[in-house]
Amino acid sequence: MSKSATPSNAAGDAPTGSRKSRLLLIVVLLLAIVAPGGAAAWWFLGRGHAQAEAKAVSAAPPVFHNLDPFTVNLAEENGDHYLQVSVVYQMADEKAVDQLNAYLPVIRNRILLLLSAKHPSELASPEGKQKLVQELVAAAQASIPGEAGKHAVTGAYLGAFVIQ
- CATH number of the domain within which 68 lies: 3.30.479.30
Q: Are residues 77 and 43 in the same domain?
A: no
CB atoms within 10 A of CB 160: 11
Total count of domains within the chain: 2
- pLDDT score for 14: 53
- Residue 13 reports pLDDT greater than 60: no
Q: Are residues 110 and 50 in the same domain?
A: no
- Residue 86 reports pLDDT greater than 80: yes
CB atoms within 10 A of CB 92: 16
- The whole-angstrom separation of Cα 108 and Cα 99 is 14
Q: Which of 58, 73, 89 is the last residue of a domain?
A: 58
Sign of torsion over alpha carbons 33, 35, 36, 38: positive
Q: Are residues 75 and 39 in the same domain?
A: no
As a whole number, the mean pLDDT across the chain is 83
Q: Are residues 92 and 151 in the same domain?
A: yes
CB 78 within 8 Å of CB 106: no
- pLDDT score for 112: 96
Listed in sequence order, the DSSP H helices in 6-125 are 9-58, 94-102, 104-116, 120-124
Q: Which of 58, 76, 97 is the last residue of a domain?
A: 58
Range of the domain at 131: 63-163
Q: Are residues 50 and 67 in the same domain?
A: no
- Residue 105 reports pLDDT greater than 60: yes
